[in-house]
Amino acid sequence: MNYQKKQSPFRQGLVSVIVPNYNYERFLSQRIDSILCQTYKDIEVIILDDCSTDNSVDVINRYASNPYIKHICINQRNSGSTFIQWKKGFNCANGEYIWIAEADDYADPLFLETILLHMEADKSIKVGFSNSYWETDTNSFINKDYSIPEKYKKYRGIPFIKSHLLKENFIYNASMAVFRHDALYKVDPIYATFKSCGDKLFWASLAEKGSVVFVSQPLNHFRIHSEKVTSKSIINGTLFKEELRFFHMNIKKGYVSIFKRISVVKYFLSYIKRYEDKFLTDEIYQDCLNLWMNEVNPRNPHLPLAYKFICRFIK
């Protein structure tokens, strides 16, 4: 499905909230309630179910009469991709802003109001996102790794990619972010072909169009559990193969200096080794390790000459 530009303008100030769901019956009510309880009320809610096998549809149908629920789309066949569901939601959205509110997370009532305060004041901001509480089965804690001393920080888009998307994904959870609808037109559609790192490419494509603002207040609740796509993509190797693909795309764009290139490779080699005993098989582990080791192999004919020379001294 290709994203098509609408003929009519988006309604100014309206937020289209897209809720993609697959088998999250146990979280759905809390998620939807946290959207309907937002202090910012100019919203339309689009709920997408990707052929769930639990009772998710029953939960969704309980909200069908709510005036904020504008679309309920129930797939008869599983799409196999979160990003395909995203695009389906985009084609239903009429708002100036879009929030992908993932079904297993939930939000503070002030989430939208706080993010939009910055985005409405500065039209150059294409993406706004907040810090998060990380929710486990037994604990809730603020993600200190992404905390800053300021109440908020604005970044220029390309420096943000270089500093915060080449290694870890600073926007690690779609639920923590709101973005401008009109910025979608220039997003690289290849993101939908990814299984794991498509979100990284998606945020990078948006950031290229303008600025990004990060609100340090934790207004998103990011749920950690074994069914997360990221957890599965680590152990089957998909994440590391797709990260390499994303890495090469940014090299071609000129976003990765020689020394940054080495730093990124070292980061992912360390990442792979840290999860050595978690991979489904030793072969998958070794394959991922070899792919990234080849990025600092002086004998790799595809590496630039100056870079290969530096690689000779890497231990």
Written as tens digits, the pLDDT of the chain (315 aa) is 444 444 447 899 999 999 999 999 999 999 999 999 999 999 999 999 999 999 999 999 999 999 999 999 999 999 988 899 999 999 999 999 999 999 999 999 999 999 999 999 999 999 999 999 999 888 899 888 788 889 999 999 999 999 999 999 999 999 999 999 999 988 989 999 998 899 999 999 999 999 999 999 999 999 988 665 567 899 999 999 999 999 999 999 999 999 899 999 999 999 999 999 999 999 999 999 999 999 999 999 999 998 888 888 876
Residue 184 CA: distances (Å) to CA of 4, 208, 274: 10, 11, 36
23: left (phi over 0), alpha (psi -120 to 50) or beta: left
306 vs 95: CA distance, rounded Å: 48
What letters, b where the CB count within 10 A reaches 16 and e where it falls short, cover 68-86? ebbbbeeeeeebebbbbbb
What letters, b where the CB count within 10 A reaches 16 and e where it falls short, cover 128-157? bbbbbbbbeeeeeeebeebeeeeebeebeb
pTM for the whole thing? 0.92
